[in-house]
Amino acid sequence: MKPFDLSLYLVLDPDLCQRHSMIETAREAVAGGATMVQVRHKQASTDERIALGRSLMEALRGSNATVIMNDDVTAAIESGVDGLHIGQGDMTPSLARARIGSELILGLSVNTEGAARLIDPAIIDYVGVGPVFATPTKPDHEKPLGFDGLAKVVAASPVPTVAIGGLKQEHVQRVLAAGADGVAVVSAICGTADPRQAARALCERLRAAR
């Protein structure tokens, strides 16, 4: 498995990537310091996700960034990305692991301490914890955790954690103080005029908080 760094995890949303393409947004964000990029394209077909995953791998070649495919096992395998991310309502972690094999990274979304405690570190490599705050980016999100809830879920997790949901520059310090290993964002990078500068500013906050 490729080593990965959860510090600044960009989740690409096609609806929010209006000013720049998804590929350009990812390239710029990685140039600004994003360490992971997830393809999260709910409306796309598996073939479109495969094409997107391949283009992203090509665009980010030579960088250290890790590329993750949301939800779609076939697209994760066929596109040659570094890993797969699944949610609580998706395929079970053990089935996902059986399908992708041991070489790909497997991430899981969790929203409760109970779900974090159930994680088998032999199967899951990292968890996304959230939402920390309510966010219009994911209208069907679970109940927001706040920083205290985040700290509890993080403490219950046997694997590295990245916080998500409504996070902006000014929250980075408190996310790390809650024990999370990194910050995952959609709109704080995708919705901006300058994704490179947005990523750089988030990275500066991460450095300052460590």
Annotated binding site: 38-42, 70-71, 90, 109, 135-138, 166, 186-187
Q: Is 116 in the site for ligand TZP (CB under 6 A)?
A: no
Paired residues of 108 in beta bridges:
86, 127
Q: Is 141 in the site for ligand TZP (CB under 6 A)?
A: yes
Q: How far apart are CA 87 and CA 80, in angstroms?
A: 21
Q: How far apart are CA 109 and CA 82, in angstroms?
A: 17
Q: What letters, b where the CB count within 10 A reaches 16 and e where it falls short, cover 121-152?
A: eebbbbbbbbbbbebebbeebeebbebebbbb
Q: Does the annotation count 152 as an active-site position?
A: no
Alpha carbon 104 to its chain centroid, in Å, reads 15
Q: Does the annotation count 45 as an active-site position?
A: no
Q: Is 137 in the site for ligand TZP (CB under 6 A)?
A: yes
Q: Is 145 in the site for ligand TZP (CB under 6 A)?
A: no
Options 51-59, 68-76, 112-120, 182-190: segment touching Mg ion (CB under 5 A)? 68-76
Q: Is 167 in the site for ligand TZP (CB under 6 A)?
A: yes
Options 2-10, 53-61, 73-81, 163-171: segment touching ligand TZP (CB under 6 A)? 163-171
Comparison of 65 and 202: residue with beta carbon closer to ligand TZP: 202
Q: Is 188 in the site for ligand TZP (CB under 6 A)?
A: yes
Options 18-26, 53-61, 116-124, 186-194: segment touching ligand TZP (CB under 6 A)? 186-194
Q: Which of residues 89-128 bind Mg ion (CB under 5 A)?
A: 90
Comparison of 42 and 210: residue with beta carbon closer to ligand TZP: 42
Q: How far is the CB of 94 from ligand TZP (least distance, A)?
A: 22
Give the up-direction half-sphere exposure of residue 170: CA atoms within 13 A in the CB hemisphere: 1
Q: Is 71 in the site for Mg ion (CB under 5 A)?
A: yes
- Please list the active-site residues: 40, 109, 138
Sites of contact with ligand TZP (CB under 6 A): 11, 130-131, 135, 137-138, 141, 164-167, 185-188
